Structures are given as C-alpha cells and as structure tokens.
Amino acid sequence: MENDESLEQFRQWVKQRNPGEEEFLQAIDDVAGDVFSLYREKSEWYDACVLPRLCEADRIISFRVCWEDDNGDIHVNRGWRVQYCGAIGPYKGGIRFHPTVNESILKFLAFEQTFKNALTGLPIGGGKGGADFDPRGRSDREIMRFCQAFMDELYRHIGENTDVPAGDINVGRREIGYMFGQYRRLANTFSGALTGKDIEFGGSHVRMEATGYGLVYFLRCMLAKRDEEVDGQVIAISGAGNVALHAALKAGHLGATVVSLSSSKGALYCKNGIPQELIEEAMDHRAGSTKLLTRMADAGGGEWHQGARPWHFPCDIALPCATQNELDGDDARALIENGVTLVAEGANMPCTAEAVEAFHKACVPHAPGKASNAGGVALSGLEMAQNASFTRWDQERLNQQLLEIMQDIHRQCIADVEGDDGYINYHRGANLAAFRRVASAVYAQGIG
C-alpha cells in the first residue's frame, strides 16, 4: 500500500474515533503529515502501532468542581486532567481556567505538549488540565475557593514523579499558590508537585519570563541562519499576556521595533514602536487587556484598531502569542504581501493549517509552537530539578540554561530539513525530531 493512501486511511481512522474534536484532529493531522513516512520506514515502530498508540491519551480524568461564591451561591464546574504520554517522564503541562475549556481542547494541548516536552531534552512527558471556570469578575476569595475545590480532586492524580502541573491561561502564581497550598494540606507532603510557584516556597527565577524570552532566543537562532540579528527588525506580536509582553520586552532590549499587541477585541499599533516603559508597566497592570492596550495607545502615540488583528500591519517578523487558530489563511497572505520574512509561534497552534501552508508555499520560515514556545516548560523542568535537589539556582544560571535549551531545540529542528535553496521547514523538522524521541521511548517500553 502506498504511503499516501495509508496516511489518508490513518487520518480517517483518527477522525472516526474522535468525532467533532477539531482542535485535537488538527494537531494529530499536523504531526502525522510530517512523520508518517518515517513511521512506515521504521518497521519496528510500524509493527508495534506506535503512531496509533500516540493518538490516544494514557488516561483522561474528568471531575466535578463545586464551590461557593461570596454571596453563598453554589456553582458547579467541570475539571479535567489529560495525562497524555508518560513514556519519557512524569506528565507535565499547564492548567487552564477558561469558559471555552473542553476535553477536545485539552487533548490537543496535551498532545502538543508531549512533543514540545520531548524537544527540550528533559525527562518530562506530556499532559494538560483545566476547568470551564471563568475567573473574570471573581473576587480573590472566590478564586481561592475554586482553586481549592479543583485541587480536592486533582491531588489524587499528581505528584513529583507522576504528574507535575503548571500554570496556563488565567492560572498564574496566585492560582498555583492556592492549589499548591491545598495539595500540601491534603497530601501531607511538601514536594515539587506543581511548578510556577512563588519563589518563597519552591518557585524558580526566570519562570515568568521563560516562554516569551525563549521565543525570542529561538527567533535569534532563526535569524542567525540568515546572517541577521534581532536589532532593526520590525515585529508584530499578538496577545497582551505574559508571553506576549515578555517577548516584546526582550525583543525591544535587543533592538527590535515592536509595533503591535492585541486582545480579543482589537489591536494596538504603534508604527514607531511601543515604548519599552509602557510594556514594563503593563506587566504589573491588573486591568483587562483591552483597557490596558487602549491606555497604552493613548500614552505611546499609537492607534487602537477595534476588531482588528495585528497581521495586516507591515512587519518583518510575526510572533502570534495569543491563542489557537488566531492566524488564518487570509492573515498569512496579508503578512506575506506586506513582506514578512519569519514567523515564530509563541502560543499553542496559533496558525491554522491553511496559514501554515501559505507560509510554506511562500518559503517563509515558520517555527511551530512546540519548538519556539518551549521555553516555559523548559524552565518548569528546571524548577522540578531545583525542587528535587532542595536548591535554588540564580537568574544568570537559569537564563543561560534557557538560552542553551532553545539553541538545542533549534539545532534539532534544522538537522535534516534544510533545502538546497536554503529554505528550512521548521515545522517538519520539529515534528520529526520530537516524534523520534517519543516513538523510541514508547517502543522500548513494550506494548501497553
């Protein structure tokens, strides 16, 4: 049977088993298209059904979360933990609180996390969790009660050698602190069962900066392959959260002109660059991102574009840092027409399949999130190492290790995909490198 036919049959098999789970199907399709030929060539992997096995999570835990608001009213939410693949090490991945969270999204995130974690070279498997809880407008006490109720069930399924959750959208140090405190009380142990903690009780330096800084470190490697630097580049960034702001800050420090940030309501555009002091102030700001960005527009001489996305502004480099599928085919074509030369993802799967294809056809190097936004989980892995050895490493050491990990990920991505014309298919390179490590571990541990 021809590989293409087998690949199509495989895709249909996955689709039939996961009806309606569009994000999960997209993530599997993305990897399978790049690795299927390798999978068929490695007869031992093929005979052991390694790829189909990697399309099923080790386990999915779902549970009820009941909590009481400040008025004494009872609310019921749903919580999940997807422990996707533990072949390389303890499950590792964030917890997300958002009303759009569902099992399909968490499966897609955990699948991506498995391959992202493999690229770091650290002994960590892939997982993801969350709840359909909306923290907007909730008091600090309500968020505390929700986090404690969430951990009342989750604590049974995690631990430093089993599953080590971290933060994600709407889950920062405050929420991790509440969950860790409840875990410590319930499990009667003080261990590195969560990462992203405050520095006072087992957290790590550089953790907040890691994903955004790591993205820029990866970008530097991409530019170095073209004998270019970050200095002088015009960069469009989406989002206004932790990743976007730290990427903007680091890029500015290296001499780039960052012209945009965005929210779900619109985009901030500053043709001459968003002032660094406004980015630094935004990191400590508690206001909603839209209000924050409109204030930044007024203060920095920029423009607020209601309902717009930042991909139609002229730029050299695009860094999508908001959410999945935020950059579609039309956005990609607009970026190409405006002269974009590089794209690196700061979020999980922010580019649609159509957008990725458009970049490939135009020979615009595009780094997938599993490679370019791996800095956060890399630092989480280093926090785990510090917790295990009861030590705390300084910022300089951690920043250097983060840089080295991102450089190594870049080396893996370009190992065997650079074309004669100099074009590097980072997307395929990342998938191949990650799949080799995960598949090797799965195969070596036998059927089960």
Q: Where are the alpha helices (DSSP H) in 71-224?
A: 103-120, 140-154, 173-187, 210-224
Lowest mean pLDDT of 109-113, 312-316, 420-424, name the range.
420-424
* H or E stretch at 234: strand 234-237
**Residue 309: CB atoms within 10 Å:** 22
**The model's pTM:** 0.94
The tens digit of pLDDT for each residue in 45-87 reads 999 999 999 999 999 999 999 999 999 999 999 999 999 999 9
Higher local confidence (pLDDT), 1 or 329 = 329
Q: How buried is 56 (Cβ within 10 angstroms: 0-12 exposed, 13-18 middle, 19+ buried)?
A: middle
Active-site residue (options: 92, 107, 128, 370): 128
**Residue 62: CB atoms within 10 Å:** 12
Maximum separation of any 2 CA atoms in the chain, in Å: 67
Rounded to an integer, the average pLDDT of 336-365 is: 97
Question: Which of the four pLDDT bands, split at 50, 70 and 90, describes residue 128?
Answer: very high
Rounded to an integer, the average pLDDT of 3-24 is: 89
Question: Which of the four pLDDT bands, split at 50, 70 and 90, describes residue 1?
Answer: very low
**CA pseudo-torsion sign 268, 274, 275, 276:** positive
User: Which residues lie closer than 8 Å to 203 by C-beta, 6 or more apart?
Assistant: 173, 195, 196, 197, 383
Supply the mean pLDDT for the chain: 95
- Reply yes or no on whether 291 is catalytic: no
The confidence score (pLDDT) of residue 5 equals 63
The tens digit of pLDDT for each residue in 275-311 reads 999 999 998 775 568 988 999 999 888 999 999 999 9
**What percent of the chain has pLDDT above 90?**
93
The confidence score (pLDDT) of residue 301 equals 85
Spatial contact of 358 and 330, defined as CB atoms under 8 Å apart: no
pLDDT at 36 over 70: yes
The confidence score (pLDDT) of residue 420 equals 60
Spatial contact of 355 and 328, defined as CB atoms under 8 Å apart: yes
Rounded Cα gap, residues 371 and 69, in angstroms: 40
pLDDT at 324 over 50: yes
Rounded Cα gap, residues 238 and 267, in angstroms: 8
The tens digit of pLDDT for each residue in 425-448 reads 999 999 999 999 999 999 999 997
